[in-house]
Amino acid sequence: MVHITGNFLAESPLSPKAREALADALDQGWSDQGKIAHSAARARILRDQAMESLAQGLKVRPDELEVLGEPALGHFYAIGGLLRAKDNLVHSSVDRKEIFALARTHGKMIEIPVDISGRMEFKSLQKAAQYSGVFALQAANGETGVTQSVDELVETAGNLRVSCDYSIAGTRVELPTKWDSAFFDARSWQGPQGIGLVAIRNRSAWQNPLPHIGALRTPQSASLPLLICAAVALEEWLEDEPSEIKRLRTLSAELREDLRSIDNVDIAGDLSGSLPHITSMSFLYVEGEELLRTLETAGFSVDSGSACTAEDLQPSHVLAAMGLLTHGNIRITLHHSTTAVQIGELIEAVKSAVTDLRAS
Amino acid sequence: MKEINCLGKRCPLPIIETAKAIKELHPGDSVHLLADDPATEVDLRAWARMTGNQMRVSAPNEFLITKSKVD
C-alpha cells in the first residue's frame, strides 16, 4: 500500500471537531423538522442555530440564507433565480462548466475574456453592462486559485444584477459591496461534502427557478446532520483563519519560488492575486497523468487540469483561456492541516518527478 | 522546410517533437507541424511564449513554427 504523506487534493477530511459534531448531530437531528413531535422541535432548533451560525460566519443575514443538499445546483439557484428571458448571462471565460451549461441553455450570453494572469477584462464587462442581464461573478477560480477584484468588477458591471460564485473563495474573499445572490460550498472551509448555501439579498429580483408551490425558495431537503457539521466546521475554520491565511501564504510563496527554479514551468497567476492555498503549474514536455501517478506513488496526492486526466480528454478551458500551458499540469491545494515539512517534501518530489519524466 | 507529422498523437508529444526539430535549426528557419490534438494550438502558443520562438496556425491542424533565437 502506498503511504500518503501529503494530501494536496482540493478535498480534505473533516477535522476531529467537525466529525464529532456530525456524530452528535446524527443522534440529535434525525427527526423530520416539519412534524409536531418533540424530536422534530429539537431538530428545528438545531437547524435554526446552524443557519444563524453559518449566516454570521458568511457575513449575510440569516433570512437571506438557504441550504441546498446538492451543491451542484447552487449556481442554477443563484444565477437562474435572477435571470429573465430577455437578459444576457454575462460570465467569464474561466467560469465553471455549470455556468457554461446554464448560459448555453439560456441562449443569451456574453463571455468576458481574462488576461494571462486570469483577471477579467474590464473593458469587455463595461460593454456587456450596456444591456440588461446577470453578471456571474466568480470570486476565485478553483483550478488556478486566481481571485478577482470583486468590488471594481461590480462597479464596472453597472446595472447588471450580480450573482456571486463563492464556492471556492468561501470566506477568503469579502463579498462585494453590492450583490443580488451568492453561492457557497461548505467544502471551501473544510466542511462536509453535500452542503451548498445560497444567499439571496435581492428578494424582489430573485424567483425560484424550479417548479414550486408556496413561498419556499429551496427544497429544504438537505441533511440536517451535515448542515450542523458545516456550521461547526465554519466556526472552527474562522477561529483559525487569521493565523492560517498568513501561514499558508508563506508556504505558497515558498512553493512557488522553489518550483520556479525548474526549467520551463508555467505558474498560473501571481500569489498576490490568488487564494493563499491553491497553486496551479504546468511543466513543459511532461504528461500530466504520468506526473500525477509518479507523485501518487511517492505519497503525494495532487489534482491536475491536463486533458489526459479529464473525463472528456479536453484540455482545461481555464488554462486555455488564460493562454497557459495545458499539458503537464498539477494543482496543489494546501489545507489548515498542511505542514511546512510536507511542503518541503512535496517540492523535492515534484522536482525529481519532473526531471525523471523529462529524461525518459 | 522540415515537416513533423503528429496527427493522432496526444499532447505533449507534438510539442516535444517540435522542440526537438527546432533544436537542429538556425534562427529564422521554420518547421511545419501537423497535429490534431485539441490542446496543440494553446500549448504551442504557450511553448512559443516560454521558449521565445514564434508560431502561427497556417491551416486547420497545421502550424508553422519559426526559430527566433540561438539556443
Closest to A75 (Cα-Cα) out of A55, A107, A101 = A101
- Quickly state the pLDDT bin for A311 (edges 50, 70, 90): low
Residues of B in contact with A320 (CB under 8 A): 39, 42
The domain boundary, picked from A185, A204, A236, lies at A236
Supply the CATH number for residue A177's domain: 3.40.640.10
Q: pLDDT over 70 for what percent of chain A?
A: 97
Give me the residues paired with residue A200 across strands.
A181
Residues A209, A255, single domain; the answer is no
- Put simply, the answer to whether B42 touches A286 (Cβ < 8 Å) is no
Residues A60, A199, single domain; the answer is yes
- Put simply, the answer to whether A314 touches B38 (Cβ < 8 Å) is yes
DSSP 8-state code for residue A338 = -
Residues A65, A210, single domain; the answer is yes
The CA-based diameter of chain B, rounded to the nearest angstrom, is 31
Supply the CATH number for residue A288's domain: 3.90.1150.10
Q: Are B16 and A285 in contact (CB under 8 A)?
A: yes
Residues A35, A155, single domain; the answer is yes
Residues A97, A213, single domain; the answer is yes
Residues A231, A90, single domain; the answer is yes
Residues A267, A220, single domain; the answer is no
B49 vs A323: CA distance, rounded Å: 10
Q: Are B39 and A315 in contact (CB under 8 A)?
A: yes
Average pLDDT, chain A: 94
A219 vs A77: CA distance, rounded Å: 11
Q: pLDDT tens digits, residue range A6-23?
A: 999 999 999 999 999 999
Residues A194, A335, single domain; the answer is no
Whether the per-residue pLDDT at A326 is higher than 90: the answer is yes
Nearest by CB to residue A323, choosing from B11, B16, B46, is B46
Residues A189, A231, single domain; the answer is yes
Number of domains in chain A: 2
Among chain A residues, CA nearest to B44: A325
In a domain, A29, yes or no: yes
Among chain A residues, CA nearest to B52: A264
The pLDDT value recorded for residue A29 is 84
A349 vs A155: CA distance, rounded Å: 44
- Quickly state the pLDDT bin for A310 (edges 50, 70, 90): low
Residue A318 sits at the chain B interface (C-beta within 8 Å): no
Residues A215, A295, single domain; the answer is no
Residue A192: is the preceding peptide bond cis (ω within 30°)? no
Residue type, B63: F
Q: Tell me what the mean pLDDT of segment A311-316 comes to.
A: 78
Instruction: Specify the 3-state DSSP secondary structure of A4.
Output: coil
The pLDDT value recorded for residue A1 is 44
The pLDDT value recorded for residue A305 is 84
DSSP β-ladder status, A181-185 and A196-200: antiparallel
Closest to A281 (Cα-Cα) out of A260, A297, A251, A261 = A260
- Put simply, the answer to whether A327 touches B12 (Cβ < 8 Å) is yes
Q: pLDDT tens digits, residue range A109-141?
A: 999 999 999 999 999 999 999 999 999 999 999
Residues of B in contact with A289 (CB under 8 A): none
The pLDDT value recorded for residue A243 is 96
Residues A281, A355, single domain; the answer is yes
The domain boundary, picked from A217, A236, A255, lies at A236
Nearest by CB to residue A325, choosing from B10, B38, B43, is B43
Rg of chain A over Cα atoms, rounded to whole angstroms, equals 21
- Put simply, the answer to whether A327 touches B43 (Cβ < 8 Å) is yes
Among chain A residues, CA nearest to B37: A314
Residues A220, A259, single domain; the answer is no
Residues of A in contact with B35 (CB under 8 A): none
Say what the ipTM of the complex is: 0.95
In a domain, A256, yes or no: yes
Q: Are A292 and B13 in contact (CB under 8 A)?
A: no
Distance from the Cα of residue A48 to its chain's centroid: 25
Residue A114 sits at the chain B interface (C-beta within 8 Å): no
Residue type, B23: K
Residue A287 sits at the chain B interface (C-beta within 8 Å): yes
Residues of B in contact with A325 (CB under 8 A): 42-43, 46-47, 50
User: Per-residue DSSP letters for A92-160?
Assistant: ETTS-HHHHHHHHHH--EEEEPB-TTSPBPHHHHHHHTTS-EEEEEESB-TTT-BB--HHHHHHHTTTS
Spell out the domains of chain B, with CATH numbers in brackets.
Answer: 2-66 (3.30.110.40)
In a domain, A1, yes or no: no
Residues of B in contact with A287 (CB under 8 A): 12
Q: Tell me what the mean pLDDT of segment A151-177 comes to.
A: 98
Residue type, A67: V
The pLDDT value recorded for residue A3 is 54
All three cell numbers of A99, joined, read: 455556468
The pLDDT value recorded for residue A322 is 97
Q: pLDDT tens digits, residue range A177-220?
A: 999 999 999 999 999 999 999 999 988 899 999 988 888 888 88
**Domain range spanning residue A40?**
16-236
Whether the per-residue pLDDT at B42 is higher than 90: the answer is yes
Q: pLDDT tens digits, residue range A25-83?
A: 999 888 888 888 888 999 999 999 999 999 999 999 999 999 999 999 999 999 999 99
- Put simply, the answer to whether B12 touches A307 (Cβ < 8 Å) is no
Among chain B residues, CA nearest to A326: B43
- Sheet of B54-59, strand order: B2-5, B30-34, B62-66, B54-59
In a domain, A330, yes or no: yes
Residue A310 sits at the chain B interface (C-beta within 8 Å): no
CA distance A320 to chain B (A): 6
Cα-Cα-Cα-Cα dihedral sign, residues A2, A233, A167, A218? positive
User: Per-residue DSSP letters for A270-336?
Assistant: -GGGB-TTEEEEEETT--HHHHHHHHHHTTEEEB--SGGGSTT-PPPHHHHHHT---SSEEEEE--T
Residue type, A257: E
In a domain, A189, yes or no: yes
